[in-house]
């Protein structure tokens, strides 16, 4: 585990603890950090491999969705960019060895996220009419009950 991974882990765990203190609603998870702290895994940060086109800035959920498939798994979670060193809700893909394929950022140093089944992500995006799986009121079912059995890899 890198120093950046440790920093990110500490942040996510602290935020999850705060979310549990603030939101005593009986749900399984209380926010993005809480669900990521519980079931997220670390991926290996790397530069974008040759042959992968960078997507538009600030559209990480769309960029990762478009890259998903062809040997790449969609991941959503919390990541740490080198420039700000402030963890943010982010999306990327990974290859079969959990190497990060981030079509949005050029400076990600730590990635902690949830690896999702392609059909689950695709169906959820179609149903919601917007990219991303976690992070807004459309994710409350996942916070309340957790992910369906076949949603995660």
pLDDT digits (tens, 9 = 90+) for 79-122: 999 999 999 999 999 999 999 999 999 999 999 999 999 999 99
Mean pLDDT of 8-16: 98
pLDDT tens-place string over residues 24-63:
889 999 999 999 999 999 999 999 999 999 999 999 999 9
Sheet hosting strand 88-94, strand order edge to edge: 41-43, 108-116, 73-81, 88-94, 100-101
pTM, to two decimals = 0.96
Say how far apart CA 63 and CA 76 lie, in whole Å: 12
Name the packing angle between helices 3-22 and 32-39 (round to 10°): 120
What percent of the chain has pLDDT above 90?
93
Say how far apart CA 71 and CA 61 lie, in whole Å: 18
Pull the structure tokens for residue 76: 């959503």
Please count the other Cβ atoms lying within 10 Å of the Cβ belonging to residue 82.
Answer: 13
Residue of 72, 39, 67, 62 whose CA lies nearest to 152 = 39
């Amino acid at each position: 585990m890198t120093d950046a991974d440790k920093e990110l882990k500490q942040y996510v765990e602290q935020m999850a603890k705060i979310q549990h203190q603030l939101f005593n609603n009986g749900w399984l998870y209380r926010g993005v950090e809480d669900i990521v702290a519980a079931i997220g895994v670390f991926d290996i940060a790397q530069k974008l491999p040759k042959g992968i086109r960078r997507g538009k800035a600030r559209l990480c959920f769309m960029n990762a969705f478009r890259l998903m498939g062809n040997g790449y798994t969609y991941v959503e979670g919390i990541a740490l960019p080198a420039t700000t060193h402030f963890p943010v809700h982010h999306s990327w893909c990974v290859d079969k060895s959990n190497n990060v394929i981030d079509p949005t950022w050029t400076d990600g140093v730590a990635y902690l996220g949830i690896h999702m089944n392609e059909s689950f992500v695709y169906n959820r995006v179609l149903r919601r009419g917007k990219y991303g799986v976690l992070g807004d009121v459309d994710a409350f079912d996942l916070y309340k009950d957790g992910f369906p059995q076949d949603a995660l890899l």
